[in-house]
Homo-oligomer: A and B are copies of this chain.
Amino acid sequence: MSNQKTRNALSLQMMEDLISNITFNQDDPALRCIVLYGEGKVFSAGHNLKELTSKEGIEHHNQVFSTCSRLMLGIMQCPVPVIAVVQGLAAAAGCQLVATCDIAICTENSSFSTPGANFGIFCSTPGIAVCRAVPRKVAAQMLFTGLPLTAQEALQAGLVSKVVSQEELDEEVKKVVDAIIHKSRSVVELGKKFLYEQLEMDIKTAYRHGQEIMVKNLTMTDCQEGIRSFIEKRKPIWTHGFEKCH
């Protein structure tokens, strides 16, 4: 996101652009993960309040929030991991975006808030993502007070995966990206899809489906290559595809 003038506001245009960027080449085998940056001191300040005035009308409001849901669910459905890199403030729907990404890395000076109620619009949809990322009381305190979490508090709550200094940021992002691209794309895709599916299941159902997924995973060429490479103590050579070996 590179619209510092609006503090990377999630305008309708910005959200459509993000959806396009996330989906347009998502079946390209060369795409292995997506890293989402916000240029400047604000990762994203959330929705553009100017799009939410009564002048814009209910139809427009509906479009803003349905687009926002499409973006968030699109990140979860994206076949490759999506990483948020935060260097500053992530507020309201900007905080929702961080909570929704698979992985989030931030710098020490970052902060996270859901202050919508200060402007008369409770962060109800950001809360959906934030409540599923952090303990309930942390989410409630954020939503009812609008007060920010520091980077360390966000780490403690599980909203971000890692806090680093500005100097260490590139190295940390590289470490995570490298770890992902050394794996088979198709194996990661299979795993990510099941990860979010099983979260909504009771545990017995999750294990019943999980067994099937593991057995299916074992039929993939890339899996058998991975196991062989481990036994033979060499690096695996992936196809990144869904070919079956039997």
Contact = CB atoms under 8 A, between A and B. Distances in A.
A179 interface: yes
A141 interface: yes
Copy count, this protein chain: 3
A21 B203 CA distance: 23
B179 A146 contact: yes
A31 interface: no
What is the interface of chain A mostly: helix, strand, loop, or mixed? helix
Contacts of A35: none
A144 B102 contact: yes
23 contacts: A49-B227, A53-B224, A69-B208, A102-B144, A103-B144, A118-B226, A119-B236, A120-B224, A120-B226, A120-B227, A124-B217, A125-B213, A125-B214, A127-B195, A131-B195, A132-B136, A132-B203, A135-B135, A138-B161, A144-B179, A144-B191, A145-B176, A145-B179
